[in-house]
Structure formats: structure tokens, C-alpha cells
Homo-oligomer: A and B are copies of this chain.
Amino acid sequence: MADIETTTSLRRGRPGYDQRGILEIAVAAFNESGYDATSIGMLADRLGLSKSAIYHHVSSKEELLALALDEALDGLEGVLREPAATEGPAADRLAHVLRGAVDVLTARLPYVTLLLRVRGNTDIERAALARRRTFDRAVADLVVEARNEGSLRADVDPAIVTRLLFGMINSIVEWYRPDGPETPAQLADDILTIALDGLRVAP
């Protein structure tokens, strides 16, 4: 927060929040009270700012939602573009993407929490759901590829595997605490052990 305040002070000549700082508080409020129940006025109270001060940084509550969902989705989509996600045996690429998804969930926890609660009530939410489905489908394709190359057991339905993998990974938002004993890397190791070792065909 110190850095943010310094930057903002320098840029705007007064202490306060930049767009990123407002976004963080907004996402926390959306997760606690629900997006619909949160107004710009409530955010202004929470931030100790006037509503017009908020509108210096964002055009609307919808823009805050779109920025927040982008933060989660850009992270997940970024994992798919990493070299380790695009080159090599499918089983290794799958492991890399699952590990990367865990990293994004833990590093951007409030943003992914919000993404996972989106139900598609507005155009912004529907666009986010479409991007999430595309990500899920890319992982499902990797499961199929890994199965076809003989790395994963053939007797488990790839569609169910994919859903259960996401069930496990997405549950992180329910219980993971950044100040808890597990590091994100340990968590990723445990998930890969549980999720993939049981599916792997012994070499």
C-alpha cells in the first residue's frame, strides 16, 4: 500500500488510491457482500474517498468487475501460452498447466474467487464465463491428448477427470489462506500427486 500511495501522490498530487488499489478493495467487497449488493457509494465509504474520486479511476462498477475478472482470466490464459504448456509430451504439459493454475489461484486468490462465483447475469459475466470455458476446454484437450499418447489411464473418462481436477483445484479458494503453513509450490505438488499420479500409466 505504501508504494501505491507514493505513486498516486506523485501522479495526482494527493494521497489516495490508484486504479489498482481501488480494484483490490472493490474485489474484497464483491466477495464479501456480493457484486449486486455492492454500490460505488459503499466502496467510497470503505476507501474513505468521494464517489467522484473513484470515478477519476474507473468509469463504473461494471468496469471494476471487468478489470477483476480480466485479472483472473489473463493469469490462467497466460499459463496456456507458456512454452512448457505448448511443447513436449501432453502429460508434462498437463502437469505444467495444473501447476500454473494453482499458482494463479493462490497469487490472485480474490480475483479467481470472484470469477468462480460468476453466474452469467450480465454481458461482462457471460464474456468471462466464455473465456473460462475456453480455458477449461484447453485443459480437457490436454487430458485427452495425454490419454491418447498412453500416459494417462484409458479407463477413466477424460471429461470426468477434467471436472474432478478443476473441482480439486478450484476448492483452493474455499480454504487456502496466504498466511497459512502451505506454500503455493507445496500445494501444487500435493495436487499433482493426488491428481496425476493415480492416473499415470506406469512407464
A residues adjacent to B (C-beta < 8 A): 153, 155-157, 160-161, 163-172, 174-175, 182, 186-187, 189-191, 193-200
Provide the main secondary structure of the chain A interface. Answer: helix
The one of B165, B171, B193 that contacts A163, using a Cβ cutoff of 8 Å: B171
Interchain CB contact under 8 A, A194 and B164: yes
Give the number of copies in the complex.
2
Shortest Cβ-Cβ A-B pairs, 7 listed: A167-B171, A197-B198, A198-B198, A168-B168, A167-B168, A164-B168, A160-B190
A144 to chain B, nearest CB (A): 15
Q: Considering the chains assembled together, what is the distance between the CA atoms of A189 and B156 in angstroms?
A: 8
> Are B190 and A157 touching (Cβ within 8 A)?
yes
| A195-B198 contact in complex given A167-B168, A171-B170, C-beta closer than 8 Å | yes
Complex Cα distance, B70 from A2, in Å, reads 50
| Closest beta carbon of chain B to A171's beta carbon, Å | 2
**CB-contact partner of A171 in B166, B187, B189, B190, under 8 A:** B166
